[in-house]
């Protein structure tokens, strides 16, 4: 039958065995996809939600003259009824309705006793308490990850003999034998060649350091991919495409569980320390959402309601970005703009509170020792000029082109990984990419340092005391008014740095394509920002030298006099970083606010906005999808994008199942089918639910019942109710149908029937149907004609139709 034609096979139910419906927590039944591994087994990380069942419903059964004393097996909630199978979509309407009923019951009871009033107050306060806990846990884990990654990154180059737990910077801070100019060189910090052959000079020492750098990188990468593969396949990737899909109502059990949290935290440190072209900022959103999901289990109103839980996860995503960039407001806007599907005003306030607590916690830990939340915080003091909008827009164009190029090539590589033998050897792939990255990175100081340190170096506004090659200008101690450094001719160090940065740009552009999507935690924010920051710094230095040598040109003479501080190369790096990140993710508002919070200055919002919007326009002209949406489509997740318009003139009858010449729709009748009849339908089909009609002849709709609820209810009735046999009649009406004498007891299942399924007529435009699915979060919609049931449209059918209309492969939609 064509009902829910594309629905997932119900892995928990096997023909002839209802007891097998509850699947084990085995990790064996896995489907491999880019960026994660799909576990079709139910896990204890997300316990089944108990459906709140009305106690006044009674089990009516037995024919006339029956000697059975009937007891209602639905008087107590049945574990599992009202919950969802793995890799299925929740019913937002039902979940919100259940929460309203729960809240109404608590409010009514609060008027009856003091204890009930206290319970009502605690219920209202529990949301804020949960946000507090999420902020504390997210901030603490972020601080732990930052400190550990910084130490292990430096471990590839050497170790502190004064205390092995110190990283390079902290080791030299505690030294009494270090000068400000050589603050990175102290006797307490020893490279591996100094420890092994007692010297840091010569070709052999260089080879020893080179070899150990590559060896440590391979060890960290091997540990990361092995832990992910063995213990938590869901811990790989950035996690944001899956988080976005989960927030839209999709169920992926175990993706936000405790094992995923533990392994992701450990392997994220290892992956970042290996020197691969990836970042920890995206995975921190996944880590924060894991914290939110686990803490939800402590509060009944969130544990038992999937819609309420997703409100918490939206706030957790905001906390994750808050600790990733030190940008609480940007985190809230990121959750609203990029990942959340349902974001009511109450969630906005709570997201803000969670982001605030997370940022405060991370600030208290002070992982970088600079009283800042991120390594690349920077402050600029030189104002920008109107003419500079031209190079800023050029950076926006570059960011859009880079974003479109990266998305196309990365998706092509991930599809190749998914469809060829390459995907079967994740450990080999990670080790090969790590080896190539480490071998090419070590000779260049800008690729050897961590990407966060590189961005910090590129954002830096050169001062009098800077010893970086990027600040090696001639006449560097001739200051202008106010003590600020004027534009000045570049020295040999700057020219050398430009060549090295150009090579770094090429390596980052190429290697990031192959790195993102491997079976290790990998974020995309930092590599994208690094590409843009390098391009921006190169352009900024070029503009600075142009203004110095040609200050009398018409474009400069009105605002840039000789000896003045006109151009800030670090600002160009920041604008370039924003442009490339926007080109890849298609973020706009949240991106500008995050970058503004990084710089601490309102003055640079206009350049950031110009670059971000230009980047988005250029990238959208070359491809409509951001990187996360592209990975969602690649993995076949049922995500219905709310930002895109459906403009095709098709009708509901063109999309519904069954189509013309298809077998008739599989339905249940309200009072004439036996237990055996229903069990046969369940065993012979894989549909996730069934319409209930008055009779097969009339096809008048009564309601809709989910397959999972049917299986659990029948199994429970067989165990707890004497006399229920295969010939017992199942009925969904209020009263038992008249039965002949001495027939077995009937089985009433009205409690699991949805009496108000959403329906449309067969002539409803699909434009309206798509809008209904988006705004109400429906799983399915029934199609009628003059009150008679004709067919059904599922979310998967809608997504397939949209793909078909866009000339894409409709079979790429794998889940319902």
Residues 693, 699: contact at Cβ < 8 Å? yes
Using H for helix, E for strand and C for coil, what is the string for 545-596?
A: HHHHHCCCCHHHHCCCCCCCCCCCHHHHHHHHHHHHHHHHHCCCHHHHHHHH
Say how far apart CA 158 and CA 219 lie, in whole Å: 15
Top mean pLDDT of 259-263, 279-283, 557-561, 683-687 is at 259-263
Q: How big, in percent rounded to 5, are the helix, strand and coil portions of the chain?
A: 55, 10, 40
Residues 486, 473: contact at Cβ < 8 Å? no
User: Which of left, alpha, beta for 30 (phi over 0: left; psi -120 to 50: alpha)?
Assistant: beta
Say how far apart CA 187 and CA 178 lie, in whole Å: 8
What pLDDT was estimated at residue 636?
Answer: 86
Say how far apart CA 280 and CA 170 lie, in whole Å: 21
What pLDDT was estimated at residue 227?
Answer: 95
Q: Which of 1-15, 236-250, 536-550, 688-702 is least confident?
A: 1-15
Residues 640, 773: contact at Cβ < 8 Å? yes
> How many H-runs (helices) and E-runs (strands) does the chain carry?
28, 13
Say how far apart CA 419 and CA 417 lie, in whole Å: 6
Beginning with the edge strand found earlier in the chain, give each strand of the sheet holding 668-669 in spatial order.
668-669, 689-693, 701-706
User: Which of left, alpha, beta for 563 (phi over 0: left; psi -120 to 50: alpha)?
Assistant: left
Helix (H, G, I), strand (E, B) or coil at 706: strand
The yes-or-no verdict on residue 29 having pLDDT over 70 is no
For the chain, percent of residues with pLDDT exceeding 90: 44
Nearest by Cα to 261 from 233, 289, 290: 290
Q: How many CA atoms lie within 13 A of 438 on its CB side?
A: 27
The yes-or-no verdict on residue 56 having pLDDT over 80 is no
If one counts every other C-beta atom within 10 angstroms of the C-beta of residue 676, the result is 13
What pLDDT was estimated at residue 42?
Answer: 36
pLDDT bin (cut points 50, 70, 90) of residue 32 is very low
Q: How many CA atoms lie within 13 A of 151 on its CB side?
A: 16
pLDDT (mean) for 571-581: 94
Which residues have C-beta within 8 Å of that of residue 766, sequence separation ≥ 6? 646, 648, 650, 651, 652, 654, 655, 798, 801
Element (H, E) at 291: helix 281-296
pLDDT (mean) for 764-776: 90
Please write the tens of the pLDDT for every residue from 379-411.
Answer: 777 778 888 899 999 999 999 999 999 999 999
Nearest by Cα to 522 from 313, 764, 237, 156: 237
The yes-or-no verdict on residue 21 having pLDDT over 70 is no
Helix (H, G, I), strand (E, B) or coil at 792: strand
Q: How many residues would you count in the chain?
A: 816
Residues 722, 67: contact at Cβ < 8 Å? no
Q: How many CA atoms lie within 13 A of 45 on its CB side?
A: 27
Please tell me the pTM assigned to this model: 0.84
Nearest by Cα to 749 from 730, 736, 729, 728: 730
Say how far apart CA 140 and CA 367 lie, in whole Å: 10
What pLDDT was estimated at residue 563?
Answer: 59
**158 CA to centre of own chain:** 35
Residues 71, 719: contact at Cβ < 8 Å? no
Say how far apart CA 537 and CA 791 lie, in whole Å: 60
Residues 96, 307: contact at Cβ < 8 Å? yes
What pLDDT was estimated at residue 553?
Answer: 75
Nearest by Cα to 74 from 760, 752, 608: 752
Backbone φ, ψ for residue 12 (5° rounding):
-80, -20
The CA-to-CA distance between both ends of the chain, in Å, stands at 16
List, as one string, the DSSP characters of 84-101. Answer: --TT-B--HHHHHHHHHH
- In Å, what is the CA distance from 66 to each residue of 61, 62, 739? 9, 5, 10
Q: Which of 1-15, 577-591, 794-808 is least confident?
A: 1-15
Say how far apart CA 521 and CA 694 lie, in whole Å: 53
Element (H, E) at 761: strand 759-761
Residues 681, 690: contact at Cβ < 8 Å? yes
Say how far apart CA 712 and CA 80 lie, in whole Å: 7
The yes-or-no verdict on residue 813 having pLDDT over 50 is yes
What pLDDT was estimated at residue 163?
Answer: 80
pLDDT bin (cut points 50, 70, 90) of residue 568 is confident
Which residues have C-beta within 8 Å of that of residue 792, sequence separation ≥ 6? 3, 4, 656, 657, 665, 691, 780, 781, 782, 783
Backbone φ, ψ for residue 777 (5° rounding):
65, 40
Q: Is the bond preceding 658 in cis, omega lying within 30 degrees of 0?
A: yes
pLDDT bin (cut points 50, 70, 90) of residue 67 is very low
Please write the tens of the pLDDT for every residue from 413-464.
Answer: 999 998 888 888 999 999 999 999 999 999 999 999 889 889 988 988 876 6
- In Å, what is the CA distance from 393 to each residue of 389, 525, 606? 6, 21, 11
pLDDT bin (cut points 50, 70, 90) of residue 493 is confident
**Cross-strand pairs, 344:** none
Residues 329, 595: contact at Cβ < 8 Å? no
The yes-or-no verdict on residue 52 having pLDDT over 80 is no
Residues 120, 109: contact at Cβ < 8 Å? yes
Residues 369, 362: contact at Cβ < 8 Å? no
pLDDT (mean) for 348-363: 94
**374 CA to centre of own chain:** 21
Residues 551, 563: contact at Cβ < 8 Å? no
Say how far apart CA 197 and CA 204 lie, in whole Å: 9
What pLDDT was estimated at residue 681?
Answer: 93
- In Å, what is the CA distance from 626 to each residue of 371, 409, 411, 576, 777? 34, 13, 11, 18, 22
Average pLDDT, the chain: 83
Torsion of CA 538, 541, 544, 548, to 10 degrees: -120
pLDDT bin (cut points 50, 70, 90) of residue 84 is confident
Residues 444, 213: contact at Cβ < 8 Å? no
The yes-or-no verdict on residue 266 having pLDDT over 90 is yes
């Amino acid at each position: 039958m064509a009902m829910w034609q594309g629905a997932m096979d119900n892995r928990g139910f096997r023909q002839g065995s209802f007891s097998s419906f509850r699947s084990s927590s085995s990790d064996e039944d896995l489907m491999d996809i880019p960026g994660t591994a799909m576990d079709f087994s139910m896990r204890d990380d997300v316990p089944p939600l108990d459906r709140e069942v009305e106690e006044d419903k009674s089990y009516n059964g037995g024919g006339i003259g029956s000697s059975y004393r009937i007891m209602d097996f639905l008087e107590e909630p049945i574990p599992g009824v009202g919950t969802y199978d793995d890799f299925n979509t929740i019913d937002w309407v039902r979940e919100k309705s259940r929460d309203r009923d729960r809240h109404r019951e608590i409010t009514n009871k609060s008027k009856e006793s003091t204890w009930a009033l206290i319970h009502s107050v605690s219920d209202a306060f529990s949301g804020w308490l949960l946000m507090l806990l999420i902020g504390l846990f997210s901030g603490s884990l972020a601080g732990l990850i930052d400190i550990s990654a910084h130490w292990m990154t430096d471990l590839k180059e050497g170790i502190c003999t004064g205390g092995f737990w110190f990283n390079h910077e902290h080791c030299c801070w505690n030294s009494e034998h270090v000068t400000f100019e050589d603050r990175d060189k102290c006797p307490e910090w020893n490279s591996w060649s100094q420890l092994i052959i007692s010297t840091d000079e010569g070709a052999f020492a260089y080879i020893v350091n080179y070899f150990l750098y590559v060896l440590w990188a391979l060890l960290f990468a091997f540990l990361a991919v092995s832990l992910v593969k063995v213990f938590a396949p869901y811990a790989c990737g950035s996690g944001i495409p899956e988080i976005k899909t989960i927030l839209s109502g999709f169920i992926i059990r175990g993706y936000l569980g405790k094992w995923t949290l533990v392994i992701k935290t450990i392997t994220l440190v290892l992956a970042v320390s290996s020197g691969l072209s990836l970042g920890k900022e995206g995975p921190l959103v996944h880590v924060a959402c894991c914290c939110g999901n686990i803490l939800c289990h402590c509060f009944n109103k969130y544990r038992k309601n999937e819609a309420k839980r997703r409100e918490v996860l939206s706030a957790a995503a905001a906390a994750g970005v808050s600790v990733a960039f030190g940008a609480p407001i940007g985190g809230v806007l990121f959750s609203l703009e990029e990942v959340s599907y349902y974001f009511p005003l109450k969630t906005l306030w709570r997201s803000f509170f969670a982001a605030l607590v997370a940022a405060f916690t991370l600030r208290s830990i002070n992982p970088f020792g600079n009283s800042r939340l991120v390594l690349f915080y920077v402050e600029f003091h030189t104002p920008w000029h109107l003419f500079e909008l031209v190079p800023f827009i050029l950076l926006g164009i570059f960011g859009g082109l880079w974003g479109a190029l990266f998305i196309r090539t990365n998706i092509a590589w991930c599809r190749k990984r998914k469809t060829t033998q390459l995907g079967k050897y994740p450990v080999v792939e990670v080790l090969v990419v790590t080896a190539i990255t480490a071998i090419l990175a070590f000779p260049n100081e800008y690729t050897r340092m961590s990407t966060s340190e590189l961005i910090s170096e590129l954002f830096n506004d050169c001062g009098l005391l800077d010893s970086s090659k990027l600040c090696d200008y001639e006449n560097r101690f001739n200051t202008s008014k106010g003590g600020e450094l004027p534009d000045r001719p570049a020295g040999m160090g700057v020219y050398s740095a430009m060549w090295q940065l150009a090579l770094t740009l090429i390596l980052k552009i190429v290697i990031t394509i192959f790195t993102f999507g491997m079976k290790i935690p990998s974020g995309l924010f930092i590599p994208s920002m690094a590409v843009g920051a390098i391009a921006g710094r190169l352009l900024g230095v070029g503009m600075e030298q142009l203004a110095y040598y040609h200050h009398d040109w018409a474009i400069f003479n009105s605002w840039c006099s000789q000896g003045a501080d006109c151009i800030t190369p670090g600002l160009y790096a920041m604008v370039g970083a924003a442009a490339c990140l926007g080109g890849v993710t298609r973020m706009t508002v949240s991106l500008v606010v995050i970058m503004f919070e990084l710089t601490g200055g309102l003055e640079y919002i206009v350049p950031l906005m110009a670059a971000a919007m230009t980047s988005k326009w250029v990238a959208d002209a070359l491809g409509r999808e951001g990187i996360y949406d592209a990975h969602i489509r690649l993995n076949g997740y049922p995500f219905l994008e709310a930002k895109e318009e459906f403009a095709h003139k098709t009708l509901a009858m063109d999309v519904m199942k069954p189509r013309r010449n298809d077998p008739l729709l599989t339905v249940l009748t309200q009072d004439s089918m036996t237990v055996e009849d229903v069990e046969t339908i369940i065993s012979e089909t894989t549909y996730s639910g069934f319409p209930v009609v008055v009779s097969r002849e009339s096809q008048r709709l009564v309601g809709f019942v989910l397959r999972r609820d049917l299986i659990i209810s029948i199994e429970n009735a067989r165990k707890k109710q004497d006399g229920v046999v295969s010939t017992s009649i199942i009925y969904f009406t209020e009263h038992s149908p008249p039965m002949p004498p001495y027939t077995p007891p009937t089985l009433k299942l009205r409690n699991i029937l949805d009496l108000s399924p959403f329906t449309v007529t067969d002539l409803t435009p699909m434009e309206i149907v798509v809008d209904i699915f988006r705004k109400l979060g429906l799983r399915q919609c029934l199609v009628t004609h003059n009150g008679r049931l004709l067919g059904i449209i599922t979310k998967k059918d809608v997504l397939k139709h949209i793909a078909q209309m866009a000339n894409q492969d409709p079979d790429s939609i794998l889940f319902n």
